[in-house]
Structure 1
């Protein structure tokens, strides 16, 4: 039998999706599952985006430009201008989702065995994207006790070696919900400039900030234009995860030229999705106000309900729509599987994402889960009530 590559063998399963077979089995058994495991918003996709696709009836569905249609790129430029970010359309390349953008960026900046420093816990696919190109993720651990704030900048300096090529930061963070401050970003920018490193910022959750805070973009930092690379997407912003439209932004022309080579190899982004994405940017500002108001309520309900559960500790997210919770169990993955495979309360159960897969450092995250508050308030209340009873039963056993 032919042998697959070492790269394919070592690539980790997604901690977000690895329990899907258990969920499918539970559904077949007639159970209702409350999905708190994945960042799939239930907010309605803007109708104008859906209608734009319905209205597009070409005789021939042609390839578009590899870097994306100009009209969409111009809409993205206009969007950023409203947020005090100055770019032009030649500073960005449209990709098939933020994931493809990250893949192309990692492939562009890192050779085999080069190192990318990432605060952990982090979005699990960062490992997959890096290992696919034989790059090495170097974790720097942030603490549950301070809501996963940026570790001391001195710790970053200690991790830098001759093989270090970049810092990779998600702001606001997935899975922690941490929102990096302007001061923290400027600290990272200074050390990246000092050591001539790339600063890759994943800003797909930039809209989702709470408590009167504001998002500060890496593209707003002066003097690091050749270091800064931003990843963004319509997926969360407009509840269009299935559209698979994202982009890379950088003032570094060598980076963009290289990313374009990868984009040309896959020919072009999907036409219909670009049409929907372009039209989505025409939503009124009230759309975002209403969405953030909704997530603010959901966050409040989730945190309050979790704090009522004996033995549970929960971090306070400042952005995105995730939080990390510590459960009174030794192995959260075993508990999450048990929830789907063995447990139900009135034929209902809950699906969570074990947090171990969001860490690179062995031994961390074993009793933690990531929770996505992407359900309506009443469903969140019900889900946490099921979790409360499930923990009692699990610990009895």
Structure 2
């Protein structure tokens, strides 16, 4: 072509969570053995049953002609009024329905949050970082992500001194991104940590992007957790929420942003207007899931349903901690929220470390898929597909220099969960000790 049509940030777009599924599917075909899918946060795929009362609400809505029509660009007014009332009932910052915009899933919202920033404006995010955020932010800028460290030796809490220094000395940073509860670590940042991050944003005149898709999935120290709306005070912010993990209905692709303090900051208000204008070009977001949100979230059984789910994830978190707690060679913090767990190798990995793959066809195929300069944890994760038929995600793909992997707490079958996690622990020991054998 007479000119390069590739976007300057194209090389920064990476979503290993889905990429590895293609490799895992081929391993499953070659081996004839079922794969344990621990790579993606889909509760339904892992066997979670949607209650009949939720299905009844959706079934009734499907019979109404209006759910097949366009909705307003911001979203259905009834639903936005319901969500604004829920936010205001918590205390803290107050919003109106005009401060809420619906999107076709949070991926749609995240894309617009970053791509509609001025190109020189950067948003610093956590490391490890959820790929949708880090890739979209880096893709917008055309440069690698700017991050602050989450410390596995301190329950994955953010390094606030590092965050402050990076903000202070990098004037291109215009915003701070927070995921709370966190993906991929399962950490829940307490009020005092969020208050300090808000204070940094206020001091340096930044805005905050808070991904709160898991805000009702906190099962440890919930009394010390608060959504950003309760702590933001006068700082401009965007909170990202949705129904994919909580109801759960990931296939609905329905999320929304709540905007805080936009009227007090003309530049921020103009930025939010650009997001709305971009959404207007798409006309609207899907009508059906918006329609049922007030009826599902406001249902008498909804809170008990969430309590039951959190008890399940707490039980899974505790058991995962027990299994990995007996596994030398890794750092594991049992999740306090969401449904992800990140395992970190605590010693240097070497090229000699291997998992034994009995199937020759599978081994040959995987060797062709692992680049010669692949990160050590990527080698482990790919070999895990062939050796144990378990699909996880390498931690290095989450914008971190830590090596490890992310898995989930979603498996509903107790025996399968026990088998998967025991096999993971055994694989860690085999991998780590294989390097010692090779060195002898």
TM over 0.5, shorter chain: yes
Among 267, 288, 293, the alignment partner of 1:272 is 288
Is the Cα contact below 8 Å between 1:140 and 1:156 reproduced in 2?
Answer: no
Is the Cα contact below 8 Å between 1:167 and 1:198 reproduced in 2?
Answer: yes
Q: Which residue of 1 aligns with 2:382?
A: 337
Alpha-carbon distance in structure 2 between the residues aligned to 1:135 and 1:196: 24
Q: Which residue of 2 aligns with 1:162?
A: 171
Alpha-carbon distance in structure 2 between the residues aligned to 1:32 and 1:154: 44
**Structure 2 segments unaligned to the other structure (5+ residues):** 264-268, 351-375
Among 209, 218, 221, the alignment partner of 2:231 is 221
Q: Are 1:127 and 2:150 matched, yes or no?
A: no
Please report how far the alpha carbon of residue 389 of structure 1 lies from its aligned counterpart in structure 2 after TM superposition: 3.5
Among 83, 105, 115, the alignment partner of 1:107 is 115
Q: Which residue of 2 aligns with 1:298?
A: 316
Q: Which residue of 1 aligns with 2:368?
A: none
Alpha-carbon distance in structure 1 between the residues aligned to 2:343 and 2:113: 31
Deviations 1:277-316 (A, max 9, x none): 3432133211111111111111111111122234232123
Alpha-carbon distance in structure 2 between the residues aligned to 1:47 and 1:8: 45
Q: Which residue of 2 aligns with 1:351?
A: 391
Q: Which residue of 2 aligns with 1:26?
A: 27
- Over aligned residues, Cα RMSD in angstroms? 2.3
Alpha-carbon distance in structure 1 between the residues aligned to 2:148 and 2:97: 34
Please list, as runs of the form range in 1=range in 2, the aligned pairs for 1:186-225 lying within 5 A after superposition: 186-214=195-223, 215-221=225-231, 223-225=233-235
Farther off after superposition, 230-239 or 3-12: 3-12
Alpha-carbon distance in structure 2 between the residues aligned to 1:44 and 1:270: 23
CA spacing shift, 1:34–1:77, aligned 2, 3 Å: same
Q: Are 1:369 and 2:391 matched, yes or no?
A: no
Is the Cα contact below 8 Å between 2:57 and 2:296 reproduced in 1?
Answer: no
Please report how far the alpha carbon of residue 392 of structure 1 lies from its aligned counterpart in structure 2 after TM superposition: 4.7
Please report how far the alpha carbon of residue 262 of structure 1 lies from its aligned counterpart in structure 2 after TM superposition: 1.5
Is the Cα contact below 8 Å between 1:245 and 1:277 reproduced in 2?
Answer: no
Among 237, 241, 244, the alignment partner of 1:232 is 241
Alpha-carbon distance in structure 2 between the residues aligned to 1:189 and 1:301: 34
Farther off after superposition, 213-222 or 167-176: 213-222
Is the Cα contact below 8 Å between 2:90 and 2:230 reproduced in 1?
Answer: no
User: How many positions carry a matched residue from both structures?
Assistant: 386
Alpha-carbon distance in structure 2 between the residues aligned to 1:309 and 1:222: 40
Partner SS state of residue 272, structure 1: helix
Deviations 1:16-39 (A, max 9, x none): 122112211133232122222211
Deviations 1:53-72 (A, max 9, x none): 33223557321111111122
Between structures 1 and 2, the one with greater helix share:
2
> TM (normalized to structure 2)?
0.81
Please report how far the alpha carbon of residue 7 of structure 1 lies from its aligned counterpart in structure 2 after TM superposition: 3.5
Alpha-carbon distance in structure 2 between the residues aligned to 1:186 and 1:391: 38
Is the Cα contact below 8 Å between 1:116 and 1:138 reproduced in 2?
Answer: yes
Please report how far the alpha carbon of residue 133 of structure 1 lies from its aligned counterpart in structure 2 after TM superposition: 2.1
Is the Cα contact below 8 Å between 1:35 and 1:350 reproduced in 2?
Answer: yes
Greater Cα radius of gyration, structure 1 or 2: 2
Alpha-carbon distance in structure 1 between the residues aligned to 2:122 and 2:393: 27
CA spacing shift, 1:268–1:188, aligned 2, 3 Å: same
Farther off after superposition, 271-280 or 290-299: 271-280
CA spacing shift, 1:270–1:222, aligned 2, 3 Å: closer
Farther off after superposition, 37-46 or 64-73: 37-46
Q: Which residue of 2 aligns with 1:262?
A: 278
CA spacing shift, 1:47–1:257, aligned 2, 3 Å: farther
Partner SS state of residue 50, structure 2: coil
Alpha-carbon distance in structure 1 between the residues aligned to 2:188 and 2:69: 41
> TM (normalized to structure 1)?
0.89
Please report how far the alpha carbon of residue 165 of structure 1 lies from its aligned counterpart in structure 2 after TM superposition: 0.7
Partner SS state of residue 343, structure 1: helix
